[in-house]
Structure 1
Amino acid sequence: MTAPDGRAVSLRTRLFVLIVVPQFVLAVLASVVLHWMARDMSRNLYDDTLKVVAHAVAREVMVTKGDLIAESLLTSLQGAIGDPLFYQVHAAGGRFIVGRTDAPPIPAGREYPEAVPVFYNAVYNDQPVRAVVLREYITDPELDGWTTVRVWQTVTRREALTLQMLGQAAAVVALMVALGAALVWFGINRGLSPLTDLRDAVALRNPQELRPIRRRVPREVVPLVATINGLFQRLGAELDRRRAFISNAAHQLRNPVAAIQAQAESALHARSDADRQQRLTDLHELSRRLSRLTQQMLRLDAASDALDAQGGAPADLAQIVAEVARRHVPAALRRDVDLSLDGVEGSLPVAANPVLLEEAVDNLIDNALKYGTPQGSALRLELSRDGGMAALRVRDQGDGIPAQLHDAVFERFFRVSTADDGGSGLGLPIVRAIARRAGGDARVEPSDRGCVILLTLPLAAADAPTGRKS
C-alpha cells in the first residue's frame, strides 16, 4: 500500500486507520441516534409537564368561576416548566371564558377526543410553540358541560435541554473513542513487536551470515519466516556455488594464461623465423584452448542460472539430436567412425530450453568422439521414450569409465585422463546442469563395452506446440 505521493504507508498506521475510522463512524451514528433519543425524551418530559399545567388551569378556572389565573400560580408554573406559558379556556358551546384570544390555530382535520390530551406544533408571535388541547367535563352551574383548555409555550428550553443531553452524550462517546484509539495504538504497537524483532533479525543477516531465523513469531507470520529462511538457504547455496566457480575458474585459468605469457615471451626472443613461427603456432593453440575453456565455463554458469529452462514452447529432442549429429559427421569421417542415430518415429517434444539442450547434445557427442571412440569404431545415438521421460543414450566403444568415477566425471574440471589433450573437464558437468535445470538428469549407465552416457528429460504435454530453432 502506498500513499498518493508514492511513499509506503506503515502497517501500524494502516491498522490504526482501519480500526479507528469504523469506530469514529459508529460514534457519529451513535450521536445521531442519541440526538433522536434526547429529542424524544425532552419532548415527552415537557409534554407531560404541559399536560399537568392544562389540568391545573382547568381546575383553577373551575375554582375561580372563570376568573384569570392568579399571577403567583402562573409564575410558579412557568418556573417549573421554564418557557413562557399561555392559555385559553372555552366553555361548552364554544363560549370564551378566559385567557388569550389569539391562540395558535388548531390543525385542520385533527380529532380531539374527550378527556384525552392532544399535542400539536404551531407558531405564535413568530415563534415555534408546543400546544396541548384538553377537553374536561365540568359540573358547575356556570361552566356545566365539556370545557376546552388550550395551553401552549415556546420550545426554547426544551430545545436547549435536547442539545444539553446530546452534548453530554457526545462528550462521553468522544471520550470513549479517544480512549479506544489510544488503547488500539498501544495494542498495535504491542502486536507488531514480533515483526520489529523479525526485521532486526533479517537486518543482522549478510552474505557471510545466512543462518535461518529461529525467533518466535505469531502463527500468521510463520509462513513468511519459512519463506525467508528458504530464500536464505537458496541464496547461501548460490553464493557457495559462485565462490566455488570463481575459485575453480581462477585455478583452471592460471596455467593457460601463464603458458600463453611464456609462449609470447619466447616468440619475442626467438632466434630464427622458424622458431618464432613455432612459438606463434603454439601460442595460437593455447589461445584456442583458453577460449574454449572460457566459453565452456560461461555456458556452465548460464546453464546453472537459466530460470526459463521450461518456459515457452517445448523442444524437439529428435530434431536437435539429428541436427547436432549431422554437424559432427565430418569429424567422425576423418577418424573413420561410424556415427549412427536410432531414433523414434515422429517428434520427441521435451520440456527444456532448445538452445541449452542443443549445447548439452553437442557436448555429449563431442566428448564421445574425442575420448571414447577409437579410430575405426562406432558411435551410436539412441533415442527412446521411458514413461514420462525422453532418453538419449550416447554409446561409444572406447575403454569406458571406471565405476568408481561415474559420478566424479560430472564434477567441474574433473578429467579421467591427465594427458594434455586440450580438454577442460566441463563438458559433462554442462550436460548434467542443463538436464537437471529442465527436470531431468545425466549419468553414466553401466555397460559391458565402452561407455554409455544417459540423458533423460521430461516429456512435454502431448498437445503442446513443438518449438523449432530459427
Structure 2
Amino acid sequence: MSAPDGRAVSLRTRLFVLIVVPQLVLAVLASVVLHWMARDMSRNLYDDTLKVVAHAVAREVMVTKGDLIAESLLTSLEGAIGDPLFYQVHAAGGRFVVGRTDAPPMPAGLEYPEAVPVFYSATFNGQPVRAVVLREYIVDPDLDGWTTVRVWQTVSRREALTLQMLGQAAAVLSLMVALSAALVWFGINRGLSPLTDLRDAVALRNSRELRPIRRPVPREVVPLVATINGLFQRLSDELDRRRAFISNAAHQLRNPVAAIQAQADSALNAHAPQDRQQRLTDLQELARRLSRLTQQLLRLDAASDGPGDARAGQGVVDLSHLVADVARRHVPAALRRDLELSLEGADAPLPVRANPVLLEEAVDNLIDNALKYGTPEGSALRLELGRDGGMATLRVRDQGCGIPPDLHQAVFDRFFRISTADDGGSGLGLPIVRTIARRAGGDARVEPSDRGCVILLTLPLAEAGAETGRKN
C-alpha cells in the first residue's frame, strides 16, 4: 500500500484506515436501515392516528345526524397530528352526507372490506396526502346501514418526523464512529509502541556494534527480530572477514611494494648499463609477483563470500572436461622441466555444481602448486579423476618430498609456507583451493602417501539429469 506520490503509507495509518473505513461503511448502512425503520415507524404511527380520526368522524357524524364536525374537534385533531385534516362521509347506497366533495381518488382496483380500515397514498390539491377508507355499520333513522368515511391529511409532518428521527440516529452514529476512531488511533499507537522500541534498538546498531536485539517484543514480531539478529550476525562475520582480509593483504603487500620501491631506486641510481638492466629485470619480476599476489588475494576474497552468496554464479560443470582443459595449459611448463603430466579417468563425465570460474582457479592452483613445489625435474605428476559415493574426486599426485603429517592442516592456512626461501610463492594457493571447494559443498585435504604429496579435492556430484555446462 503506497501513497499517490509513491511513498509507503505507515503501518499506523494503514491499520487505522483498515479498521475505521469498515466502521464508516457499517454506519452508512445502519443509517439507511434506520431511515427505512423511521419511515415505517412514522407511517404506522400516523396511520394509526388517522384510523382513530376516521372512527371519531364516524361517531361525530352519527351524533350530529350528518352535520359538519365541530370546528373545535377538528382543530383539536389537527393539533394532535400536526397536518391539516380533511374528511368525507357517504351513507348507505353512496349518498353523500357531509365533508369535502373533492376527495383524492382511490387507486384503481382498491378494495375496502367492511369494518377494516384501508390506507392509500394519493395527491390532493397538488400535495401528497395519506388517506384512509373505513366502512362502519351505523344504526340510525337517517344513516342506517354501512357508512363510508374517508379521512386524509398531508404528509409533511410525518416526513419531518422521519427526517428528525434519521438525523438523531445519524448524529448518534457519527459520534460513535468519531469516538471509535479516536480509541482505535490510541490503541494502534499503544499497540505499535514495541515496533517503535524495535526501531530505536536497530538505530543504535552500527558497524562496531552489531549485538543481537534482546528486548521483549510481541509474538508476531519474534520471527522478524530473529531475522534481524541473523542479519546482524552475518554482517558481523562479514566485517570481521573483511577486516582480516585487509589486514592480511596489507601485511603481504607491504614487502613486495617496498622491494619494488628499492629496486626502482637502485635502477635510477645505477651508473653502469648492465647494473641498470639487472635492476629493471628484478623490478619486472617483482611486479609480476605482486600482480599474481594481488590476483590471488582477489580470488580468495571472491571465494570467501558469506553463506548468503554461496550459490551466486553456480552452475553444473563437467569436472573431467574442466580438468583436462586446465592440464592442457600446463603441458608447456611441464615439458620445459622434463616432467610427465598425465590425466586418468577423464573419459566419464563428472557433473558437479560449482562456480566454473572459481573451480577452474582451484584446479589451476592445484596443478601449479604441484609443478612448482612437489615435482622434481624428470619426475611425473598424475591427475586422477574418480567417484566416491556421491562425490567427484580429483587427486593431484606428485613425486616430491611431500608434506610432514603435522602440517597437513597448516598448509591450508592463509599465507602459510613450508619453505622460507624466496621462491615467489604467497601461501595462498591451497587456501584458495579449500575455500572454493567448501563454497561448492566439497573439501580439500592432504592424503597420507608413502612418496610425494597427494592433494584430494572432493565436490558433490550434481543431480541426475542436470544439464552439464562445458567451458570451451
Shared fold by TM > 0.5?
yes
1:433 Cα deviation from its structure 2 partner: 1.8
Structure-2 separation of matches of 1:89 and 1:197 = 82
Correspondence for 1:149: 149
* Contact 2:315–2:356 (Cα < 8 Å) also in 1: no
2:227 corresponding residue in structure 1: 227
Distance 1:402 1:63 in 2: 137
Task: Give the TM-score normalised by structure 2.
Answer: 0.97
Q: Give 1:123's aligned amino acid.
A: T
Deviation sequence 1:351-386 (CA, Å, 0-9, x none):
111111111100010011111122222222111122
2:192 paired residue number: 192
Tell me the residue number matched to 1:79: 79
Farther off after superposition, 108-117 or 382-391: 382-391
Aligned counterpart, 2:88: 88
Q: Provide the rounded CA distance (Å) in 1 between the counterparts of 2:282 and 2:192.
A: 69
SS of the equivalent of 1:305 reads coil
Q: What SS does the corresponding residue of 1:69 show, helix, strand or coil?
A: coil
Q: Deviations over 1:6-25 (max 9, x none)?
A: 12211111111111111101
- Does residue 340 in structure 1 map to residue 342 in structure 2? yes
Residue aligned with 1:421, SS: coil
- More moved, 112-121 vs 433-442: 433-442
Q: How does 1:228-247 map to 2 (within 5 A)?
A: 228-247=228-247
Q: Output the CA distance in 2 between the equivalents of 1:92 and 1:386.
A: 118
Residue 440 of structure 2 is matched in structure 1 by 438
Q: Which amino acid aligns with 2:183?
A: L
SS of aligned partner of 1:123: strand
Preserved contact between residue 342 and residue 383 of structure 1 (Cα < 8 Å): yes
Query: Which whole-Å deviations, capped at 9, do the CAs of 1:86-137 have from their partners, x for residues lacking one?
Result: 0000011000011110000111111111111000000001000000000111
For 2:402 and 2:24, the matched residues in 1 are separated by: 82
What do the CA deviations read for 1:136-180 (whole angstroms, capped 9, x no partner)? 111111111111000000001100000000001111100110011
CA contact (8 A) 2:87 2:152 kept: yes
Mapped pair 1:38 → 2:42: no
Give % identity.
Answer: 86
Conserved 8 A contact 1:89-1:98: yes
Partner of 1:114: 114
Q: Is the 8 A contact 1:313 1:464 kept in 2?
A: no
Alignment match, 2:427: 425
Find out whether 1:140 has 2:140 as its counterpart: yes
CA distance in 1: counterparts of 2:447 and 2:41, whole angstroms: 96
Matched, 1:462 2:464: yes
> Which position in structure 2 is the counterpart of 1:351?
353
Which stretch shows the higher mean deviation, 246-255 or 301-310? 301-310
- Pick one of 330, 333, 339 that aligns with 1:331: 333
Letter of the aligned partner of 1:349 in structure 2? P
Q: In the alignment, residue 189 of structure 1 is paired with which amino acid?
A: N
Q: What are the equivalent positions in structure 2 for 1:299-378 lying under 5 Å apart? A: 299-305=299-305, 307=309, 309=311, 311=313, 313-378=315-380
Compute the displacement of 1:221 (Å): 1.0
The code of the aligned residue for 2:123 comes to V
Structure-2 separation of matches of 1:387 and 1:117 = 100
Please name the residue that 1:394 is paired with.
Answer: 396
* Cα distance in 1, alignment partners of residues 331 and 46 from structure 2: 113
- Listed one character per residue, the Cα deviations across residues 17-45 of structure 1 (whole Å, up to 9, x for unaligned) are 11111110110000000000000000000
Matches within 5 A, 1:169-208: 169-208=169-208
Asked if the contact 2:322–2:470 (Cα under 8 Å) also holds between the matched residues in 1, the reply is no
- The alignment partner of 2:304 has SS state of helix
Runs of 5+ consecutive residues of structure 1 not aligned to the other structure: none
Report the Cα distance in structure 1 between the residues aligned to 2:168 and 2:153, rounded to whole angstroms: 25
Is the contact made by 2:324 and 2:346 (CA closer than 8 Å) also made in structure 1? no
Kindly indicate whether the alpha-carbon contact (under 8 Å) linking 1:310 and 1:438 is maintained by their aligned counterparts in 2: no
Distance 1:93 1:399 in 2: 141
Letter paired with 1:413: F
Per-residue Cα deviation, 1:208-240 (whole angstroms, up to 9, x for no partner): 111111111111111111111111111111111
State the one-letter code of the partner of 1:468. R
How many pairs are equivalent? Answer: 470
> Mean alpha-carbon deviation: is it higher for 333-342 or for 291-300?
333-342
Q: Which residue of 2 aligns with 1:281?
A: 281
Q: Tell me by how many angstroms 1:392 deviates.
A: 1.2
Whether the 8 Å CA contact 1:310–1:352 is kept in 2: the answer is no
Which residue of structure 2 aligns with residue 67 of structure 1?
67
Q: Deviations over 1:61-108 (max 9, x none)?
A: 111111111111111111111100000000110000111100001111
Question: Aligned partners of 1:422 and 1:115: how far apart in 2?
Answer: 125
Q: Distance in 2 between matches of 1:365 and 1:402?
A: 20
Residue by residue over 1:256-281, the C-alpha shift from the partner in whole angstroms, topping out at 9 and shown as x without a partner, is: 11111111111222242222222222
Structure 1: how far apart are the matches of 2:265 and 2:109?
Answer: 126
The residue matched to 1:314 in structure 2 has which SS? strand
Describe the SS at the equivalent of 2:132: strand
Q: Secondary structure at the match of 2:245?
A: helix
TM-score for both structures, normalised by structure 1: 0.97
Structure 2 unpaired stretches of 5+: none
3-state DSSP of counterpart to 2:14: helix
**Whole-angstrom distance in 1 between the partners of 2:312 and 2:449:** 31
In 1, Cα distance between equivalents of 2:458 and 2:418:
23
Please report the RMSD computed on the Cα atoms of aligned residues, expressed in angstroms: 1.4
Q: What amino acid is the match of 2:304?
A: S
* More displaced stretch, 294-303 vs 148-157: 294-303
Secondary structure class of the residue paired with 1:279: helix
> In structure 2, what residue type is equivalent to 1:249?
A
Shift of 1:308: 6.9
